[in-house]
Structure 1
Amino acid sequence: MRKRGFEIISTYKDKNINLPSRKTAKSAGYDLEAGTDVLIEAGKTAIIPTGLKAYMLDDEYLGIHIRSSLAFKKHLNLINAQGIIDADYYNNPDNEGHIMIGIINFGTEDVQIKKGMRIAQAIFYKFLTVDDEILDDTIRQGGFGSTGE
């Protein structure tokens, strides 16, 4: 049984996307690369496609974190501080679970992100739930804000 990992989404299969990897044996994060070139203008936000999706167990999520070198050297950060990819985002009908990285440029200069540049780290986490939780049978649709505002 597969527990967790990454796959290339169907529309990016022929775009030379690298599967994320850890750079050392004790690294927690898997480096995510930009799937295309994107310019992030000074003071603006941009969404960077990765061409990837992630699968995991039902009691896990994938945390997305900016690479520290981009934060310190280029004044970039994630729009929402930390991205959260839920298990039911995988293969959703709207976008196949495509991991998109929302980044804001706090600097005074535009930043060019090149395809293949490592932009974020992804870490798999376990989470806990409360007793007697009642959930409806809503099926996830899309990403960013998919369960309401």
Structure 2
Amino acid sequence: MGRGFEIISKYQGQNLNLPQRQTKAAAGYDFEAAEDFLLPSIWKINFVKVLWALRHQENVQEDVLKAAKAELKPYLVPTGIKAYMESDEYLMLANRSSNPLKRGLILPNGVGIIDSDYYNNAANEGAIFIQLVNYGITDIKIKKGERIGQGIFMKYLTADKEVNASQVRTGGFGSTKM
């Protein structure tokens, strides 16, 4: 099968670019936003109120915790891209080095992992999203075509005495939870 990228059906004919390396020795393929996207600042969504409540109240009010859970979350920026690869490979999604410094954007979990069986899954065709949090003081307007993350194809090893997994992927984010 090899490895590479395709545009998902939802974005066919919308002038998206497939991820590409910017220099001959670059490890990462730059992913672009598939559409304009507004990424709110964490400071705008009662972040300070939630932090204050957690720090100063022994019993934080349930409504404050509920608001925190609803508001302090990463946002999924669509790329319109899916990736195919060999069965012993994965695509590691990572931040671009300029995102935190120039824009205040981070991947909340550090990296994202796209397994080989994510490609063309029935739930979302294997659509890749970049999870981002904006810790800057103002909202960020991400424009269609703006580079927002990078992907690096990697091989992985398995344990010698591993019991073969039999579960088949049926979806996207969090679909392999037990």
Q: Describe the SS at the equivalent of 1:50.
A: strand
For the pair shown, the structure with the greater C-alpha radius of gyration is: 2
Instruction: Give the Å deviation of 1:106.
Output: 1.3
Match of 1:61 in 2: 90
Are 1:47 and 2:46 matched, yes or no? no
State how far apart, in whole Å, the 2-side matches of 1:121 and 1:11 are.
21
The C-alpha deviation readout for 1:14-54, integer Å capped at 9, x for no partner, is: 21111111111100000100001111111153211101000
Decide which of 124, 128, 146 is 1:95's aligned counterpart: 124
State how far apart, in whole Å, the 1-side matches of 2:161 and 2:84 are.
26
Match of 1:74 in 2: 103
- Identify the structure with the greater helix proportion: 2
State how far apart, in whole Å, the 1-side matches of 2:170 and 2:96 are.
28
State how far apart, in whole Å, the 2-side matches of 1:142 and 1:77 are.
25
Match of 2:114 in 1: 85
Q: Describe the SS at the equivalent of 1:121.
A: strand
Instruction: Give the Å deviation of 1:137.
Output: 2.2
Match of 1:140 in 2: 169
Instruction: Give the Å deviation of 1:3.
Output: 0.8
Match of 2:4 in 1: 5
State how far apart, in whole Å, the 2-side matches of 1:13 and 1:79 are.
29
- Identify the structure with the greater strand proportion: 1
Q: Describe the SS at the equivalent of 1:143.
A: coil
State how far apart, in whole Å, the 2-side matches of 1:38 and 1:104 are.
13
Match of 2:157 in 1: 128
Are 1:19 and 2:18 matched, yes or no? yes
Q: Percent identity?
A: 53
Match of 2:146 in 1: 117
Instruction: Give the Å deviation of 1:143.
Output: 1.6
Instruction: Give the Å deviation of 1:142.
Output: 1.8
| TM-score normalised by the chain length of structure 2 | 0.80
| TM-score normalised by the chain length of structure 1 | 0.95
State how far apart, in whole Å, the 2-side matches of 1:25 and 1:67 are.
17
Q: Describe the SS at the equivalent of 1:39.
A: strand
Count of residue pairs brought into register by the alignment = 148
State how far apart, in whole Å, the 2-side matches of 1:28 and 1:39 are.
28
State how far apart, in whole Å, the 2-side matches of 1:77 and 1:35 are.
18
* Structure 1 segments (4+ residues) deviating >3 Å: none
